Structures are given as structure tokens and as C-alpha cells.
């Protein structure tokens, strides 16, 4: 168990540098420098970011706000065959008193310009900053990692002004790529100009961005099983099918391979070619009857779960996020409690360019560059 203690101990500079050098071999910033890039040894960006958020969630659970989250302070430990993440530099951190959720603007330095939250830059705000400042900074780090060193608020000399104005640009994330669509949704939440509308660290870790392919497949199955008896005029199907034509690209049968299409057409029970519910049923049925399917169908779908899930999400990149948002009103049901953060089902969302269900939303408070 990791325990946190705060104390002041003097360590001679050379001894301190030697200790750190033995413990840490690089930082996140070095991963994207041309001079001497750090080898991540196969650590995928999503795993790197997950480790970072686990660290932040641990700090926040102990009422500690880091206040200077940036690539330079995310250190990397090389274990010869793997890399682990360490959050460093607590010189600006603040431990909140019991029962307090915010800290005074007079309680020390403001963090690093270009990575800090807008409320830290705004002297006119009457509400003191909270742990949400770390979430905003982490959102910038997410984009930095996923794009190989880009910043959502632009060049260094423009960042502070753009952060104050709420002008960001996530265009390096592809609008029709499954992984980038899910990442964009999460980053937009984290970069919300209103700190109270940003997700908590715990909520970030629950987001589909961090779901394994196995969990994605289980979610599709659980949703299909839940809605199988729902009528088309019921609220759950109405939400799921809202903008569903964009999700299934008008006719999902035309997007799948001929061998799978032929197999589905010969099975019992007709499929609606323009329905999200129907597509989910097809995914569910093919998974359950995978080993009963002809060899050529198994080959086109690939192995379960990884290839199987990728087969569908590569053809329907909006399917996972669309379904996730549509089903959030059922987050308290036992089946879905593992997919959503309990008592925090109202996602803080901003305007997006990809499809979303026609459910209650809030107007965006962040501008695009």
C-alpha cells in the first residue's frame, strides 16, 4: 500500500541528483523530443495516460492538488522490459484541509504557464480553484501524448491567451477514427472552461477511452441484452436511434464484408439495416454463435475479442461512444454500474463534431481555435 507523508528533509544536491537518476530514466517530455527520444518499450499511450490518472486519482483521494501537471513532471522508470509512470515535482502542490474542496489563490505559485487551468489565470474569479485544475492540465497532456507532442492550445507564445479565451484545437485527432473519437470526447470534458463541469479523476478512469477491447465487447452485449424487448417508441430506443443513421452510415449491412452479410441474411430473424439496435444485436449474436459460424465468417471477423471488436469499431467508429452516451441514464442498473461512475452519470460535455444521442446537454463554454 502506498502511503503519503509530507516532511522536509535536507539532501545535498549531488546526492539528490544521484538518487533521482537511479530511480528515473526520463520524462514524458523527452518522448517527443527529436534530439534524444525516450524508448517507451511498447507502453501504449493509453496505458501511459491511465497510469498518470491513477496517480492523480490517488492524490485527489488524499485531498492533494498537484497544481503543476505537465509532461516534464511525468517521469518514466525503465524496468528493462517495461516502463512505469511516476508523477513528480510537488513543490507547488497543496494539501486541502479536511472538509475543503478548494484552495486560496494566495496559497503559492500558479503552476506552469501554458499548462495551467483558466481559473488559475483569472484574478477576477470569486471561487477558489479545486482539484479540477489538475484535470484541465491532464487534458492538455492527453492531447500531447496522443498527437506526439502537440498542444491543444497552440504554440507556446499563444497558449496562455488561448487558455484564457477557451480556444483550443483538437484537429490532430481524426474525426472518423474510433479511438480518436472516444479520446476527443474525454479531452473536451477535461478542457471545459468551467471547473465544476470537468470530470473527476475517478470519472476520467471510467471513460470508454480506457476500456479494453474485451470490455467494449461485453458492453455491446449487455446493451443488446438490455434493449432486446424494448419497443421502438420507448425512451431508451429513441435515445439510441437518435442520429443513429450517422452511426450506422445509413445502412450498416453495406459496410460489412460480403461473407458476413450473407451469413446474417440466412440466419433467423431479420435485421434492420438502418438501426443501431439491430447492429448491436448482430454483434451480440455473432459473438454468442461465433464457434458455430462457418470458417470463412470466423476468418473475416478475426479472433475474439480483439479482432472481433476492431472489425466493427473500424467500420462504425462512432458506435461505442454513441451507445455509451445513450445508455448513461441506465447507469444505476446493476448491469451497467461497472461502465459508469456511480452518482456521476451526468457527463460534462461540450459541443462535438461527431454524432451524439439527442439527450439533455449543456451548451459549450469552450471555443475552438
Active site residues: 68
For strands 167-168 and 367-368, give the pairing.
parallel
Distance CA 264, CA 266 (A): 5
Distance CA 86, CA 73 (A): 8
3-state secondary structure of 168: strand
3-state secondary structure of 87: strand
Distance CA 329, CA 360 (A): 10
Distance CA 263, CA 260 (A): 5
Instruction: Please give the radius of gyration of the chain, using alpha carbons only, rounded to the nearest integer.
Output: 23
Are 142 and 341 spatial neighbours (Cβ–Cβ below 8 Å)? no
Q: What is the Cα 227 distance to its own chain's centre?
A: 26
Are 115 and 137 spatial neighbours (Cβ–Cβ below 8 Å)? yes
User: What is the DSSP code (8-state) at residue 197?
Assistant: G
The H or E element that residue 333 is part of is none
Distance CA 77, CA 40 (A): 10
Length of the chain: 369
| φ and ψ at residue 131, rounded to 5 degrees | -65, -10
3-state secondary structure of 167: strand
Amino acid at each position: 500500500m502506498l502511503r503519503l507523508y509530507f516532511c522536509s528533509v535536507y539532501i545535498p544536491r549531488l546526492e539528490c541528483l544521484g538518487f533521482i537518476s537511479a530511480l528515473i530514466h526520463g520524462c514524458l517530455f523527452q518522448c517527443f523530443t527529436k534530439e534524444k527520444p525516450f524508448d517507451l518499450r511498447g507502453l501504449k499511450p493509453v496505458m501511459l495516460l491511465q497510469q498518470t490518472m491513477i496517480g492523480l486519482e490517488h492524490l485527489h483521494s488524499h485531498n492533494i492538488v498537484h497544481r503543476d501537471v505537465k509532461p516534464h513532471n511525468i517521469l518514466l522508470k525503465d524496468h528493462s522490459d517495461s516502463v512505469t509512470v511516476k508523477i513528480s515535482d510537488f513543490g507547488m502542490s497543496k494539501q486541502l484541509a479536511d472538509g475543503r474542496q478548494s484552495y486560496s489563490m494566495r496559497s503559492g505559485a500558479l503552476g506552469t504557464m501554458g499548462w495551467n487551468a483558466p481559473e488559475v489565470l483569472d484574478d477576477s474569479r470569486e471561487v477558489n480553484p479545486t482539484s479540477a485544475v489538475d484535470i484541465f492540465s491532464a487534458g492538455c497532456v492527453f492531447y500531447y501524448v496522443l498527437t506526439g507532442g502537440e498542444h491543444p492550445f497552440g504554440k507556446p507564445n499563444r497558449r496562455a491567451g488561448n487558455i484564457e479565451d477557451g480556444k483550443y484545437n483538437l484537429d490532430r485527432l481524426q474525426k472518423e477514427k474510433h479511438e480518436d473519437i472516444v479520446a476527443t470526447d474525454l479531452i473536451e470534458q477535461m478542457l471545459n472552461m468551467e471547473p465544476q463541469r470537468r470530470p473527476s479523476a475517478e470519472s476520467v478512469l471510467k471513460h470508454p477511452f480506457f476500456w479494453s477491447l474485451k470490455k467494449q465487447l461485453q458492453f455491446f452485449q449487455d446493451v443488446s441484452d438490455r434493449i432486446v424487448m424494448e419497443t421502438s417508441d420507448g425512451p431508451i430506443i429513441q435515445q439510441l436511434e437518435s442520429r443513429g443513421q450517422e452511426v450506422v452510415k445509413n445502412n450498416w449491412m453495406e459496410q460489412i464484408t460480403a461473407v458476413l452479410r450473407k451469413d446474417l441474411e440466412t440466419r433467423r430473424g431479420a435485421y434492420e439495416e438502418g438501426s443501431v439496435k439491430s447492429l448491436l444485436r448482430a454483434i451480440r449474436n455473432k459473438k454468442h454463435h461465433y464457434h458455430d459460424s462457418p470458417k470463412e465468417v470466423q476468418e473475416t471477423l478475426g479472433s475474439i475479442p480483439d479482432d472481433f471488436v476492431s472489425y466493427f469499431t473500424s467500420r462504425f467508429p462512432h458506435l461505442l461512444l454513441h451507445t455509451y452516451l445513450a445508455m448513461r441514464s441506465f447507469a444505476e442498473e446493476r448491469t451497467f454500474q461497472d461502465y459508469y461512475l456511480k452518482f456521476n452519470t451526468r457527463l460534462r460535455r461540450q459541443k462535438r463534431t461527431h454524432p451524439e444521442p439527442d439527450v439533455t446537454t449543456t451548451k459549450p463554454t469552450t471555443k475552438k481555435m
